[in-house]
């Protein structure tokens, strides 16, 4: 993200978005949060809130492993969804209160930020937000100019109605292709409830058969493996998500392969 307009070409911002929760493939789903190379860690990357009661707020921590003080600012934007995932809005939301909204974190120190729901207590269906942790530029002495690498981290914050439960189901499965043209499973997951759910809180069974109906591949991915290879797999209310599963299959559709997929949720158990 080039910040030349606001900072007269002094700043070069590098965005490191934590999109694991929304990822559809391993390539887009591996978060940079928590990596030592970035010298700033943010935990957790996904938070779930309630519109009333004790679950209205959670703490997000930012640790500074730089050698210098780290100025950061937090802001929240509401998300909209389509079959490919989430898209942040252009304006900040008033539904989430962040305290403190800014801080200067000393080297080696950790700062806690409270994220609290202050929107409608009678929420009809889940709502979702990116809470961006933005590293702020350091003011340079007069007459000096420099390039600074600024990192933005995004925490996914979701708010669910009280008493709501997700209802995730596979609506379709097919054989697709990865970036190298290799056959991989493509699954379409729908949430017909008013409450969001996560693919990684369940089990996904993949079966491929040849043209004669013989099983040539079968594998069950438990929740932790889904989280590792695909991401948390957030499914919003009313959304149908297309998710590419990064597992190479023996056969393409053109070679007679056919795909079956089953999903069983562990949420609410």
pTM, to two decimals: 0.81
User: What average pLDDT is seen over the chain?
Assistant: 85
Per-residue pLDDT at 28: 31
Per-residue pLDDT at 30: 30
pLDDT in tens, 4-51: 333 322 222 223 333 344 443 223 333 333 333 457 899 999 999 999
Please name which of 227, 264, 252 lies closest in space to residue 30, comparing C-alpha atoms.
Answer: 227
Per-residue pLDDT at 1: 33
- What string of DSSP letters covers the chain? -B-HHHHTT-EEEEE----GGG-SSHHHH---TT-GGGTEEEE-SEEEE-SSGGGGEEEEEEEE-SSS-EEEEEEEEEEEEETTEEEE-SS--SSEEEESSEEEEPTT-EEEEEEEE-S-TT-SS-EEEEEEEEEPPPPPPTT----EEEEEEEEEEEE--TT----EEEEEEEEEE-TTS-EEEEEEEEE-SSS-EEGGGEEEEEEEE-TTS-EEEEEEE-HHHHHHHT---EE-TT-EEEEE-----S--TTTT-EEEEEEEE-TT-
Distance set, CA 30 to CA 9, 22, 33, 34, 269 (Å): 30, 10, 9, 11, 28
Chain centroid, CA 81 distance in Å: 12
Chain centroid, CA 206 distance in Å: 23
Neighbours of 269 (CB within 10 A): 6
Distance set, CA 258 to CA 29, 152, 220 (Å): 26, 42, 17
Q: Which domains does the chain have, with CATH numbers?
A: 4-159 (2.60.40.10), 168-265 (2.60.40)
Please name which of 205, 68, 75 lies closest in space to residue 148, comparing C-alpha atoms.
Answer: 68
pLDDT in tens, 53-78: 999 999 999 999 888 899 999 999 99
Instruction: Please give the backbone phi and psi of residue 27, each rounded to the nearest 5 degrees, phi first.
Output: -65, -40
Per-residue pLDDT at 38: 52
- What string of DSSP letters covers 41-55? EEE-SEEEE-SSGGG
**217 strand-pairing partners:** 208
Please name which of 177, 223, 186, 180 lies closest in space to residue 204, comparing C-alpha atoms.
Answer: 223
Tokens of 143: 């007459």
pLDDT in tens, 134-185: 999 887 777 777 787 888 999 999 999 999 999 999 999 999 999 999 999 9
Query: Cα separation of 113 and 79, whole Å?
Result: 21
Tokens of 110: 């950790």
């Amino acid at each position: 993200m080039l910040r030349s307009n606001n900072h007269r070409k002094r700043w070069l911002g590098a965005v490191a978005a934590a999109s694991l929760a929304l990822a559809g493939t391993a390539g887009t789903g591996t978060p940079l949060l928590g990596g030592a190379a970035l010298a700033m860690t943010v935990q957790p990357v996904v938070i779930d809130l309630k519109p009333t009661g004790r679950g209205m707020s959670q703490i997000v921590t930012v640790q500074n492993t730089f050698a210098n003080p780290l100025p950061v600012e937090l802001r929240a934007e509401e998300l909209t969804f389509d079959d490919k995932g989430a898209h942040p809005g252009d304006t900040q939301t008033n539904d989430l209160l962040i305290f403190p909204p800014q801080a200067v974190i000393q080297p080696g120190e950790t700062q806690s930020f409270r994220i609290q729901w202050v929107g409608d207590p009678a929420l009809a269906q889940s709502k979702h937000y990116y809470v961006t942790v933005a590293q702020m530029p350091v003011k340079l002495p007069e007459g000096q100019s420099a390039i600074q690498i600024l990192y933005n981290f995004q925490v996914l914050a979701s708010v669910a109605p009280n008493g709501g439960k997700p209802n995730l189901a596979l609506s379709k499965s097919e054989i697709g292709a990865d970036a190298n043209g290799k056959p991989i499973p493509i699954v379409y997951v729908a949430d017909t409830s008013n409450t969001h759910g996560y693919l990684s809180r369940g089990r996904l069974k993949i079966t491929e058969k040849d043209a004669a109906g013989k099983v040539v591949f079968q594998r069950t991915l438990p929740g932790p493996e889904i989280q590792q290879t695909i991401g948390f797999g957030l499914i919003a209310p009313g959304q149908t998500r297309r998710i590419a599963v990064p597992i190479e299959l023996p056969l393409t559709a053109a070679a007679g392969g056919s795909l079956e997929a089953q999903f069983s949720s562990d949420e609410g158990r």
